[in-house]
Amino acid sequence: MRATGVRSAPNAVRHPWLQAELERVLAALPPVTEPADTPPLLARWETWLGPYRYGPQPMPPLRLILIWDTLAGHLSAQFVLWLYQHGVLPLYTPLSGSWLNLAESVQRILARRALAGQHPHTPEEIITGVEATVAGWNADPTPFTWGGKRADRRQRARVRRHQRLAGSGAQCVYPSSIAR
């Protein structure tokens, strides 16, 4: 988890911070040692962009796939070109799919933990609380399991399609057409 407290986050503040953090992440990755013509299928720009490749030509090796939302600053041509030049492919969550964006969930969890039982009076108190919470998260991260109402519904449906046999651990699977 990477975060730093600021009073406002216009692109002039956000982009340099994101670039510095991404450079740290890229520096920690192992170097690309395979010849450029033999990367695995998912490590090829063409797999993700198709025949339409924008950015520097030839493209550098694909090093990282960055999944994020469609915030206007994430779509700026200058920033996207910077990502491409550094081998970072931005993939955007759908406009109507904020539930797909784990960053939104993490932000809610961190804010709730940072402000629980607190009544901050200044922005600095909020920033300090959030930064301390992020440091705590990094020291002992909370594992994520994808769940929610849809997962519960799917689990109930799976249970309905299985019949326990004589109280044992064995199960009989019914075809969905005759599921109870």
Regarding whether 109 and 37 lie in a shared domain, the answer is: no
- Boundaries of domain holding 168: 149-178
pLDDT band (50, 70, 90) for residue 52:
confident
What is the DSSP secondary-structure string of 114-147?
Answer: HHTT----SHHHHHHHHHHHHHHHHHSPPPP---
pLDDT digits (tens, 9 = 90+) for 138-162: 898 877 766 767 777 777 777 666 6
Residue whose C-alpha is closest to residue 107's, from 30, 38, 9: 9
Number of domains in the chain: 3
- The per-residue pLDDT for 7 is 85
- Report the DSSP beta bridge partners of residue 67: 91
**Same domain assignment for residues 87 and 20:** yes
Q: Is 3 inside a domain boundary?
A: no
Residue closest to 17 by CA, chosen among 30, 27, 3: 3
Q: Is the pTM of this model over 0.85?
A: no
Are 120 and 85 found together in one domain?
no
